[in-house]
């Protein structure tokens, strides 16, 4: 099990925890919480794989289901104490976001898509799971209103391309791209950086 795999599982774990906790706030049962956690963790990558027309990644190996089960067990066993780990999960979540973004970009490049499609696919991989999660628990998606989230993926994707364009080794460009996503996300939350809110009209089209 190499370093990237460990990061991948940590990110999956953190994403699943965020889904399970929001499901628990809605009084979902264990099965419902598991589904929401799983969709949060793999939903973005699944949409990406459907759009790229490749087999969904989590159907190739059982590990994503196992990691989600571990996340459910963790929340069930440690219950209220989970809240004390908020900062830890937040960091895992940011690391997962960075890794998922780069994974999505790489997969798109491997299928010969242009830069802009790859960045969208990277962003979907990182951020769309959270949108599906919020749809399942019947809430307005958080990432459309709070601190910068999906935009961190876009920024990191652009950094990655800049580095690759400058002739850096692929692994280095990937690393810098992921770090950009993570830093952008951490700084956005620390300094509460949000995008402006639209105030067009009452929207009664």
Residue 51 tokens, joined: 């759009």
Cβ at position 87, least distance to a copy of itself in Å:
11
Name the E strands within 47-161: none
Q: Minimum distance between the CB of residue 32 and a copy of itself, rounded to whole angstroms?
A: 3
Among 16, 43, 44, 46, interactor with a copy of itself by CB under 8 A: 46
191 binds a copy of itself (CB under 8 A): no
| 80 token code pair | 């209220």
**Dist. CA 110–CA 125, nearest whole Å:** 15
Q: How far is CA 16 from CA 24, 34, 41, 71, 90, in A?
A: 12, 8, 5, 6, 12
Residue number, 142 or 168, with CB nearest to a copy of itself: 142
Residue with token string 């919020």: 134
The 3-state DSSP class for residue 61 equals: coil
Angle (CA) 182 57 86, round 5°: 35
- Binding residue for a copy of itself, selected from 9, 57, 113, 175, defined by CB under 8 A: 113
116 binds a copy of itself (CB under 8 A): yes
| Interface with a copy of itself, residue 20, by CB under 8 A | yes
Among 75, 155, 164, 184, interactor with a copy of itself by CB under 8 A: 75
Q: Are 122 and 104 a contacting pair, CB within 8 Å?
A: yes
Nearest to 15 by CA among 132, 81, 75, 96: 96
From residue 128 to residue 167, what is the string marking binding to a copy of itself with x (rule CB under 8 A)? ---x---xxxxxxx-xxx--x-xx----------------
Of 5, 56, 165, 192, which one interacts with a copy of itself (CB under 8 A)?
56
Q: Are 82 and 21 within 8 A, CB to CB?
A: yes
89 binds a copy of itself (CB under 8 A): yes
Stretch of 3-11, 59-67, 165-173, 177-185 lying at the interface with a copy of itself (CB under 8 A): 59-67
Residue 99, helix vs strand vs coil: helix
Tokens of 204: 């009664």
Write out the residues near a copy of itself by the rule CB under 8 A: 17-18, 20-33, 35-36, 46, 50-51, 53, 55-56, 59, 62, 65, 75-76, 79-80, 82-83, 86, 89-90, 113, 116-117, 131, 135-141, 143-145, 148, 150-151, 194-205
């Amino acid at each position: 099990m190499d370093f990237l795999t460990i990061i991948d599982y940590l990110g999956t774990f953190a994403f699943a925890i965020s889904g399970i906790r929001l499901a628990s706030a809605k009084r979902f049962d264990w099965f419902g919480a598991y589904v929401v956690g799983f969709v949060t963790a793999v939903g973005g990558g699944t949409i990406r794989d459907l759009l790229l027309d490749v087999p969904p990644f989590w159907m190739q190996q059982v590990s994503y289901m196992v990691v989600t089960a571990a996340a459910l067990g963790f929340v069930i066993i440690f219950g209220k104490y989970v809240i004390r780990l908020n900062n830890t999960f937040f960091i895992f979540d940011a690391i997962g976001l960075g890794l998922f973004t780069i994974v999505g970009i790489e997969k798109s490049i491997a299928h010969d898509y242009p830069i802009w499609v790859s960045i969208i696919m990277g962003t979907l991989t990182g951020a769309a799971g959270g949108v599906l999660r919020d749809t399942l628990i019947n809430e307005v998606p958080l990432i459309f209103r709070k601190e910068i989230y999906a935009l961190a993926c876009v920024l990191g994707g652009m950094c990655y391309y800049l580095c690759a364009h400058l002739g850096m080794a692929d692994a280095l460009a990937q690393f810098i791209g992921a770090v950009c996503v993570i830093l952008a996300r951490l700084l956005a939350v620390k300094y509460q950086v949000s995008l402006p809110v639209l105030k067009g009209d009452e929207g009664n089209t």
